[in-house]
């Protein structure tokens, strides 16, 4: 579970709605102080139990490099609605949403794409299908295939309990105790509860099945000509750091390990994460424009 550090939007960050042919997506939008972007935009996609709010701590910093930065809720997540059809939540279907979002946000320009955790498995679909030209691609705390370790066990427990016991059980017996044990402030705990109960139960179950069964698509990803960054916390409890480092080698990607971070670098080490993304994005643009 990703836990935002705070919920107050910094100056220059505002709620937004991104309208596509597949529907509207709730978003947070950050612009440079001038209000006029001078660089290519960026699209940030959250993980399974996350939302656009997981990126609040980095949005303003990222925008100050001169670009429009958009974080979204995926279909069925928090403030973006979704149907009661499991097929709407496959990686392929959600990846199609990412294509449409990037094309809308880019308005003809390449877009920097970031996928966090399950969002990495989704966004790579859009990169591999080749329908959208991306300025760069970042896999943040994601992996080459299905998730492993403690988060795999949580996912399998969730799949067992959710259909029979519902969201209340999931919250009271798993997510709330985890948040309280971590010393999460009351207002954030209240937000986490609101977010969980706003998710599509069908979508959450379907996406959990996806994250537990995703195939390895690194070989296909290597065929795409796009600057790629693998960024993760040194203590990641999703995909092990060694697995992500190996993935970076397979992808011939740049690799950044965020000191002190676990599975959510944008929350746990926002300044370090934002600095790494900005440097990578600027370098990718320079190569494409040279």
Domains recognised in the chain with CATH numbers: 13-145+215-289 (3.40.50.1820)
What ranges in the chain are assigned the alpha helix state H?
56-63, 91-106, 118-129, 149-170, 176-181, 186-198, 201-213, 218-221, 241-250, 265-268, 270-289
Of 176, 170, 139, whose CA–CA distance to 157 is shortest?
A: 170
Q: What are the tens digits of pLDDT across the range 70-127? A: 999 999 999 999 999 999 999 999 999 999 999 999 999 999 999 999 999 999 999 9
CB 149 within 8 A of CB 78: no
Q: What are the tens digits of pLDDT across the range 56-75? A: 999 999 999 999 999 999 99
What's the rounded Cα separation, in Å, for the pair 140 and 48? 13
| Tokens linked to 27 | 């978003």
Burial 138-150 (b: 16+ CB within 10 A, else e): bbbbbbbebbeee
Statement: residue 152 has pLDDT above 70? yes
Q: Give percent of the chain with pLDDT exceeding 70.
A: 99
What separation, in Å, do the N-terminal and C-terminal C-alpha atoms of the chain show?
A: 41
Q: What are the tens digits of pLDDT across the range 161-181? A: 877 777 888 888 888 888 888
Q: Give percent of the chain with pLDDT exceeding 90.
A: 80
Q: What are the tens digits of pLDDT across the range 3-28? A: 777 688 988 899 999 999 999 999 99
What's the rounded Cα separation, in Å, for the pair 276 and 290? 21
Q: For position 26, what pLDDT does the model report?
A: 98
Q: What is the mean pLDDT of residues 127-142?
A: 97
Statement: residue 1 has pLDDT above 80? no
**Mean of per-residue pLDDT scores for the chain:** 94
Confidence of residue 204 (pLDDT cuts 50, 70, 90): very high
What's the rounded Cα separation, in Å, for the pair 100 and 225? 20
| Tokens linked to 9 | 């939007």
Angle at 54 between CA 136 and CA 121, to 5 degrees: 50
What's the rounded Cα separation, in Å, for the pair 271 and 273? 5
């Amino acid at each position: 579970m990703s836990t935002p550090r705070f919920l107050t939007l910094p100056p220059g960050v505002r709620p937004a709605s991104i309208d596509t042919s597949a529907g509207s997506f709730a978003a947070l939008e950050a612009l440079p102080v001038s209000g006029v972007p001078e660089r290519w935009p960026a699209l940030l996609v959250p993980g399974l139990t996350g939302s656009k709010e997981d990126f609040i701590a980095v949005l303003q910093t990222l925008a100050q490099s001169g670009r429009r930065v958009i974080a979204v809720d995926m279909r069925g997540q928090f403030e973006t609605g979704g149907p009661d059809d499991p097929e709407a939540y496959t990686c392929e279907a959600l990846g199609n949403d990412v294509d449409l979002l990037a094309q809308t946000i880019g308005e003809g320009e390449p877009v920097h794409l970031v996928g966090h955790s399950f969002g990495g498995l989704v966004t790579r679909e859009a990169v591999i299908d080749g329908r959208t030209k991306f300025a760069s691609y970042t896999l943040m705390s994601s992996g080459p295939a299905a998730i492993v370790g403690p988060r795999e066990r949580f996912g399998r427990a969730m799949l067992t309990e959710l259909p029979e016991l519902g969201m209340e059980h999931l919250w009271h017996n798993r997510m709330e105790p985890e948040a309280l044990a971590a010393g999460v402030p009351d207002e954030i705990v209240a937000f986490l509860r609101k977010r969980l109960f706003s998710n599509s139960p069908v979508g959450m179950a379907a996406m959990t099945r996806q994250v537990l069964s995703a195939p390895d698509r690194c070989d296909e990803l290597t065929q795409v000509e796009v600057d790629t960054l693998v960024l993760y916390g040194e203590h990641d409890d999703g995909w092990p750091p060694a697995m992500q480092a190996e993935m970076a080698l397979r992808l011939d990607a740049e690799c950044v390990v965020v000191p002190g971070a676990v599975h959510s670098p944008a929350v746990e080490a926002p300044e370090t994460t934002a600095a790494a993304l900005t440097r990578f994005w600027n370098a990718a643009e320079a190569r494409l424009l040279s």
